Amino acid sequence: MAEPFCGRLRALLAESAAALNLRHHRQGTVVTIEGPRFSTRAESHMFRLLGADVINMSTVPEVTLAREAGICYQSIAMSTDYDCWKEARSRSPGR
């Protein structure tokens, strides 16, 4: 699982995003936590120190099953909770 996502599909999605003039990142490191829950700020800081770009709860088990079955799979992530990365914006109710 060193490379869980499909490089060909990643390139196609990046090319499509560029053609549509959408802001995007060609690659990144995803950490998956058990949901349904947001990570705590302390967890988010730890994951960031470990090199995570995105924390989510929706790539496992899908990516694992696709990789084992030889299916080309790619994830598209959109930030909805900035947590420790944009602290001024993370002051949502209940946090």
List 5, 39, 73, 83, catalytic entry: 83
CB-based contact 34:60 (threshold 8 Å): no
Tens digits of residue pLDDT in 3-44: 899 999 999 999 999 999 999 999 889 999 988 888 888 999
Tokens of 31: 């950490």
List 81, 84, 85, 90, catalytic entry: 81
Please name the residues in contact with 11: beta carbons below 8 A apart, sequence gap of 6 or more: none
Per the annotation, the verdict on 53 as an active-site residue is no
CB-based contact 8:72 (threshold 8 Å): yes
pTM for this model (two decimals)? 0.74
83 by Cβ neighbours in 10 Å (0-12 / 13-18 / 19+) ranks as: buried
